[in-house]
Structures are given as structure tokens and as C-alpha cells.
Structure 1
Amino acid sequence: MGLTSNNVVMVSVVASVLLFGATVWLWPRFARRGVAAVLGRIGLLLVTQVSLFAALGLFANQSFGFYGSWSDLLGTETEPGVVVNHDAPGSTRILVTESRKMNVSGGGSAPAAVGRIEKVTIKGPLSGLASPAYVYLPPQYFQPAYAGRDFPAALVLTGYPGTTEALINGLKYPQTALRLNKEGRMRPVVLVLMRPTVAPPRDTECMDVPGGPRTETFFTKDVPSAVAGHYRVGEHARDWGVIGNSTGGYCALKMAMRHPESFSAAAGLSPSYKSPIDATTGDLFGGSKRLERENDLMWRLDHKPAPPVSLLVSSSEHGEKNYNDTVKFIEKVKEVNRRGEPTRISSIILNTGGHNFNTWRREVPAALEWLGGRLSDR
């Protein structure tokens, strides 16, 4: 059973309840004096508390997506991180490693009815990076009526460190896209599900680090090119959007603002608006104040030409630390609009909601509907 599966969580909860009951039942037998009785009491307390902490830890991991598998938890994960690509210049490759059925209650599992999820490895010649991803193909992708059609696509990013599986099991992007599609609220869109940590464990904040990983090039050039070359997906900016939460939300906004030739729309759920400098990032800017400013989204609105992109930001009046910055960002884009420049802004502002999966699950349906409505339909 997988680390994030419901069965593992349920087994751990049941085990902790049974051990608690066993402790209550056996405690009188160990109430006597003596070494054996004392060791028995210590053993009962230790086993019960370990099982309780394990249950709580597994539930928290499933909710927030800290680790995606047992090998990830134990540090034995062997998925590729940073690699040197020795392919011929200009080539981009996708390797499909797994295909999953979309099992939906009452919907069957045929791809033409519910779509399909493929696990892939994306290699990029421009960045020299490779990273695993999941690609959700909507049901129309497999229907004869759409056989000659290119689909719009959206890059979906987790926060840091995040796991790609959390986008499926926690935030349920494919399931939500399918439901919106069936309700007629969202056109069919191919989803490319990834985490921004392509050079683990470093948090690169989706930028080309001087002398380090070229993460921005990977996401803005290599990934769209690879996906469009392998799947029936459009290759122009009007065909591509990007959405993410937390660090992924900052990445989404920044990449659309810096690369309107790659993305025409971006949604940031609980985003920050500039890159941090901390133990997880290291020196992202190589000591360059210019590079640091250019990755500050507030600064860009004040000093750079506004790009022709649509942006969506989200926050909560109570529970999110980014609320004031989000209001400030919205006002800056509105000022850009008043000057007649082409950047557009939308927002989702909740009354209450913390920086967590429960909040983002409330925002994902509206954000996906918004994003799908701003991509081309050819």
C-alpha cells in the first residue's frame, strides 16, 4: 500500500485505537511493583504513543503532501533530478513510464469517458534538466470527433517541497477538471502536473540560478515544447496556462509575466510575490541586485512594460499571511490597466482559510474554470 493511500491511514488509525484499548485493558495487570511490571507499563505507553504519532503523521502527510512514497520518506527515492542531456541540440524528449486509469464513481474507466493519467519523464535540452511529471489527458482526447484537434494545456505546480502525487490525491486536479468538463464549465484541457523542485532538495523558485539549475528555462521552454511534441497540444502562448499553489503560485505568476511568449494566463493560489533567500534556496541571484529585482513581481509592475497576460491571485482575509501583499498586487495591476497596458487581473478572496490543502481545494475549481476560459479553443 502506498504511503499516501487511504488504506494506510485507516490501518494506522485502527491500530492506534486498538492499542489504546489494549493499554486500558492490560494496565491493571502491570499495576504491581517490580521491574517486569514497570517495563510492561513503559512498553504499553511507548507502543501506544508511537502508533498515535504515526497515525497523525500519516494523516498530515496525506493532507499536505510532504512525501509521496515510502522511498521518498526513507530517502531512497531514485527518480531523476538534475541530469545533463546529451541529445542533439534542439531535441526534447518525453518518456512515458506508467499509464493510469481514471476510476470515477458512476463514470467507468474508459479513457474516452473519463480520460487517462500518464506518468512521464520530461527531458529538456535547453536547460539540461529532467523531471518526472503526470499528464492528464481529458476524455475528448480519445474521442474520434476530436482526433484532428490540438488541445490547450496547463502546467500545474505544487508548492515547495511538495510531491506531484499530491496534485492528484490531495488537490485532485484531474478529478476536478473532469467534473467541470462534464458540467460544461470547463473546456477539455491537458494538465501537466509537476513540482517546482527539479533540483532536489534545493528550492530554486523557478528561476535560472547563476551557475546552477536553469529551472525557468526548463518550465518555460523545454516543458511546453516536449508536451506539444508528444501530445496533441498547441504550441503557442495562447494554448498554454500555468497554475500553482504557494511557491508554485509565485512560479506561475512570475513565469507568465516574464515569459508571455510561453504562457498567456497564470493562476497563483496563495502566492508570494518575490523569491525568498533562506537555507532552502541558497543564493539564487549570484549577488546580483538587478536579478533579484527582476524576480520581484511588485517591482516588475512598477518598472517593466506590462505583458499581455491574464493573472489570477488568491488569498484569505483571515488566515493567509499574503493577504496585504495580494491586495497591493491587485491594485498595482489595476493601475496598469488604467494606463491602457494589457495585463489583466482576477482574484479569489476567501473570508477565512489558512495556507493549506483544505483552502486550495476550495479554490481549485474556480481557478481551473477561469484558466480554461482564457486558453484557446481550436
Structure 2
Amino acid sequence: MGLTSNLVVTFAVIAAVLFFAATVWLWPRLAGRTPWAVVGRVGTLLVTQFSVFCAIGLFANQTFGFYGSWADLLGTEDTPGVVVDHDTPAHKRVKVISTRKVNVPGGDKARLGGRIEKITVQGPTSKIASPAYVYLPPQYFTQPDRRFPAAVVLTGYPGTAEALINGLRYPQTAHKLVKQGKMQPMVLVMLRPTVAPPRDTECVDVPRGPQTETFFTKDLPLAISAYYRIGKGAKHWGVVGNSTGGYCALKMAMRHPEAFSAGAGLSPSYKAPIDRTTGDLFGGSKQLERENNLMWRLDHKPAPPVSLLVTSSKKGEHNYKDTLKFIDKVKRLNEAGAPTRISSILLDSGGHNFNTWRREVSGTLTWLGNRLETPATPS
């Protein structure tokens, strides 16, 4: 049973309730002063508290996606990705593992609700392979000759891709917005930025380490557009993420306008942290570190022809002042004739959590859908 499965969480909650009831029932029978009675009281309290702690922890992990598996939780997941063959054709670098319905009205039928496919993607240039989920809108099945724009959707760190479906509800929100006529149908490629677990690479090509940025900006779009009916140019691709994924989204759009024409960061940071989860991301190179600092890029690099969206909250978010600073820098560049465009969602209050990001997903998808071009239908 998986760490984030409903069965595990349900079992933990039931166990906590039963242990609590047993403690209430046994307590009068353990009221004596004998050593066995004292040990019994201490034991029942410890067991009950431990079961309640596990139930709350498992529920919180399922909700917020801190750890994706038991190995991830215990720190035993340390494989840095799968080496793949360089001569694999692009359209064979995607392997569908399973499919699932979208939790919307009519979701049992792909022509009404679309479909979610769990896949693995091979990256011959980065030598990384990663699992992902692909949301295909209903129009993908009702209009077989049509090609679609796509967006890479990233979690935070450590995060789970399932949280993008169950927690932030990206497919369900996209389905609803298309039905309301607020956005065009889009394919969503959902995954976590941790493609070399358990290391937090911050979507950096680490010197002598995981080439994460190359995987997301070169290998992933090429493989996905070769397998699915998706446009190949940057004008057909966007990237969005929350927290660490938000930093990745902004950075990859700014550093690789040849791959993405739009990037949205929900509660993003604006530079990569250096801590025990990241290790040395830049191989001691201060220049590489600066080039991955988004504020520094705005001051020292040519402004890229991309559209950017940032979100924050006046109360509850630590990045609010930096977000205002980032917006101001881009606005000044734009006023000077630079091609970078900036938009924002600024809430009065909201913490660094799923509840806040759910309030921003609808506006973000609407914004993204209006900035990506629909690929031309092949003649």
C-alpha cells in the first residue's frame, strides 16, 4: 500500500479511533498503583498518541504532498534517475504505464471528461527518466486532427505529481474553464521537479550532477510533442509551478525562451537556496549561481520575449516584498521597450499552502491559455 493511498490514511484514522476508544475503556481497569497498572496507563497513552500522530501525519502528507512513497519518507530513495539510450527515437521516449478517468461529470468517457495518462519520459540528452501524468482534454478525443498547446505543471519540493491532480485539481479546473469558454483546450504535463530524488536540484544543470534543466527544457518537450498531438514551438508551450516549481517555471521561461513562451510562478522564490537538500548546485561557480538568480538576470541579461505571471499574498507569504520588487523590475524593462511581459495575482492573505494555490490555479490557467498559440492543423 502506497504512502499516499486512501487505504493507508483510512486505516490509520480507524486505528487511532479504536486505540482511543480502547484507552477510555481500559483506563478504569488500570487505576491501581501496582507497577503493572502504571505501565498499562503509560503504554495506552503512548500507543494512542502515536496512532493519532500517524493518522494526522499521513492525512497531511496526502493533502500537501510532502513525500511520495515510503522510500521517499525514509530517505532510502537515492537513485539519481535512469540512464537512457541516445538513439531512441523521440516518439518512443514516452511510455504509457496506466490511464485513469478525470474526476468531472462524464469523466468515465474520454470524449466528455478527457483522460489522465501516467507515463515515463526518457531524456537522452540529460540522461534522466522521470514519471509524469498527462492530462488530455476531451477535445483531444473528439477532434482527432487537432493539435494542442501544452503546459508543464510542477509541484514544489519534495512534492508528488498526484497532488497536482488531487490537491490542486489542475485537470478538473482546466476542464471547467474550457467548458465556460475562459480558456482553450490544453494538454497538461504534470510532474514534480525532483527528477533526481531525493536531491532538490532546483531545476539546475548541476556541474557533474543531474542535468535537470536540460531535461525540462529540451528532453521533455521534444518527447511529449513527438508522442502526443502537441505543437513543437515555444509559442505552444508554457510552464507553471508552485513554490520550488514556481521558481523553476519562471527561471526556465527566462533562460529558455526557445522552449517556453510563458511561465507562471505560484509563491515562487527568485533564487535557488543552498542547503542540505540541494547540496552544491553550482560547483562553486559564482557566475552560474548569479545566472540562476532571477533578480540578477533582470539587471544583467537581455530581457527575453516571454510572458511571466507571479503570485503572492500581503499576509502569510514570505516572498511578498521580493515579488513586488520582481514586478517593478520587469515593468521598468517593459517601459524601456523590452519584450518581457509581467502579470500578477496578489491576495490580501494566504499562506504557503495548497489552499492558497487552489485560489490561484483558475486565474493562472486562464492567463496561460490566453498566451499560448493553438498549433496549426496539419494539411
TM-score by length of 2: 0.94
Q: Which residue of 2 aligns with 1:130?
A: 129
Confirm whether residue 335 of structure 1 aligns to residue 332 of structure 2: yes
> What's the offset of the Cα at 1:316?
0.6
Alignment check: 8 A CA contact 1:81 1:130 kept: no
Query: Hey, what does 1:174 align to over in structure 2?
Result: 171
Q: Comparing 24-33 with 80-89, which one deviates more in the overlay?
A: 80-89
Equivalent in 216, 219, 226 of residue 216 of structure 2:
219
Tell me by how many angstroms 1:75 deviates. Answer: 5.6
- Residue type of the alignment partner of 2:296: W
CA contact (8 A) 2:72 2:198 kept: no
Task: Check if 1:142 corresponds to 2:141.
Answer: yes
The change in CA–CA distance for 1:72 and 1:278 in structure 2 (over 3 A counts) is: closer
Find the aligned partners of 1:65 and 1:118 in 2 and give their Cα distance: 19
Structure 1 distance, partners of 2:96, 2:77, is: 19
2:346 is matched with 349
Tell me which residue corresponds to 1:259. Answer: 256
Structure 2 residue 247 is the aligned partner of structure 1 residue 250: yes
Distance 2:371 2:230 in 1: 15
User: Contact conserved, 2:168 with 2:361, CA < 8 A, in 1?
Assistant: yes
**What pairs up with 1:353-372 in 2 under 5 angstroms?**
353-372=350-369
The answer for the alignment partner of 1:194 in structure 2 is 191
User: Shift in Å at residue 127 of structure 1?
Assistant: 1.0
Q: Which residue of 2 aligns with 1:292?
A: 289
Specify the alignment match of 1:117 in structure 2: 116
Distance in 1 of aligned mates of 2:70 and 2:137: 29
For the pair 1:204 / 2:213, whether they are aligned, the reply is: no
- Give the aligned residue type for 1:54: C
8 Å CA contact retained: 2:203, 2:248: yes
**Structure 1 residue 287, shift from structure 2 partner:** 1.5
Structure 2 equivalent of residue 53 of structure 1: 53
> In terms of mean alpha carbon deviation, does 326-335 or 176-185 score higher?
176-185
- Note closer, same or farther for the CA distance 1:206–1:46 as it changes in structure 2 (3 Å cut): same
- Asked if 1 retains the 8 angstrom alpha-carbon contact of 2:168 and 2:354, the reply is yes
C-alpha distance in structure 2 between counterparts of 1:88 and 1:22, whole Å: 62
Question: Structure 2 CA distance, aligned partners of 1:109 and 1:325?
Answer: 44
Whether the aligned pair in 1 keeps the contact of 2:95 and 2:120 (CA below 8 Å) is yes
- Name the counterpart of 2:309: 312
Residue in 1 that maps onto 2:18? 18
Contact preservation (8 Å) 1:90, 1:126: no
Answer whether contact 1:2 1:69 (CA < 8 A) is retained.
Answer: yes
Q: Deviations over 1:133-181 (max 9, x none)?
A: 11111111010xx211110000001111111111112111111111212
Q: Displacement, 1:354?
A: 1.0
Alignment partner for residue 156 of structure 2, among 155, 159, 164?
159
Q: What is the deviation of 1:19? A: 2.5
* 8 Å Cα contact 1:209-1:286 kept in structure 2: yes
Superposition deviation, residue 4 in structure 1: 2.6
Matches of 2:76 and 2:287, distance apart in 1: 39
C-alpha separation in 1, matches of 2:90 and 2:374: 27
Task: Name the TM-score, length of structure 1 as normaliser.
Answer: 0.94
1:2-50 CA deviation, whole Å, 9 max, x = no partner? 4334454344334323322332232111001213212221221122111
The one-letter amino acid paired with 1:302 is D
2:232 to 229, 232, 235: 235
Q: Is there any run of 5+ residues in structure 1 with no aligned partner, and where?
A: none
Partner residue in 1 for 2:30: 30
User: CA RMSD for the aligned pairs?
Assistant: 1.8
Aligned AA (2:273) = P
* Percent identity of equivalent pairs: 70
Moved over 6 A (4+): none
For residue 256 of structure 1, report the CA deviation from its aligned partner. Answer: 0.3
Distance (Å, rounded) in 2 between the aligned partners of 1:94 and 1:81: 19
Which one is further off, 273-282 or 66-75?
Answer: 66-75
Q: Distance in 2 between matches of 1:74 and 1:277?
A: 22
1:42 aligns with 2:42: yes
Name stretches of at least 5 consecutive residues in structure 2 with no aligned partner.
none
Whether the 8 Å CA contact 1:240–1:263 is kept in 2: the answer is yes
Q: Deviations over 1:202-223 (max 9, x none)?
A: 1111111111111111100100
User: Which string of whole-angstrom CA distances, capped at 9 and with x for unpartnered residues, describes residues 309-351 of structure 1?
Assistant: 0000000101111000000000000001110111000001111
User: Which amino acid in the other structure matches residue 68 of structure 2?
Assistant: G
Aligned-pair CA distance for 1:77: 6.0
